[in-house]
Structure 1
Amino acid sequence: MKKDLHPTYNEVTIQLADGTEFVTRSTMDRDTYASEVDSTNHPFYTGRRQFVDTAGRVEKFNRRYGITDDSDDDEDDDA
């Protein structure tokens, strides 16, 4: 095998959002890692759902790209 091919494998202390800590091994170059999301606060595990305002996202997309909402009402008035 080639020398210096693989990254170093160090012990890292992981701190979860609820304050619990555990030690594992990783290739990260730090001694500690603070996680913002874990099983105590992630919606998949807690069952709490977040509803996304899709209409607001569509409007934001249309504003960003200058798309106007030309509705079909003009065609109905001509008939």
Structure 2
Amino acid sequence: MKKDLHPEFVICTVTCACGNTFENKAAQDTVKIDICNECHPFFTGSERMVDTAGRIEKFNARYAKK
């Protein structure tokens, strides 16, 4: 087998956009992520409402039966 084919795994620091940090193993020293278990709505139990009222009204106005 070839030597040094796979990258070496090191303990890296994972940083979330919300500010939460934790350690994991990866081939890189630092990893930045957008969502973690501290800020994801599924794990926090809070849901974010997306304001789609304007989109729905716009759709209905465009395709309303005349």
Q: TM-score, length-normalised on structure 2?
A: 0.52
Matches for 1:20-35 after TM superposition, within 5 Å: 21-28=21-28, 31-35=29-33
Percent identity between the aligned chains?
Answer: 28
Please give the alpha-carbon distance, in whole angstroms, between the structure 2 residues aligned to 1:6 and 1:54: 51
Q: TM-score, length-normalised on structure 1?
A: 0.47
**Deviation digits for residues 24-64 of structure 1 (CA, Å, limit 9, x no counterpart):** 21023xx222333222221111111123327617x58xxxx
Structure 1, gaps ≥5 residues long: 61-67, 74-79
Q: Which has the larger radius of gyration?
A: 1
Tell me how large the CA RMSD over aligned residues is: 3.2
8 and 14 in structure 1: CA distance in 2 versus 1, 3 angstrom threshold? same
Please give the alpha-carbon distance, in whole angstroms, between the structure 1 residues aligned to 2:31 and 2:9: 15
47 and 22 in structure 1: CA distance in 2 versus 1, 3 angstrom threshold? closer
Q: How many residues align?
A: 61
Q: Does 1 or 2 have the higher relative contact order (CA < 8 Å, sep 6+)? A: 2
Structure 2, gaps ≥5 residues long: none
Task: Kindly indicate which of the two structures has a greater share of residues assigned to strand.
Answer: 2
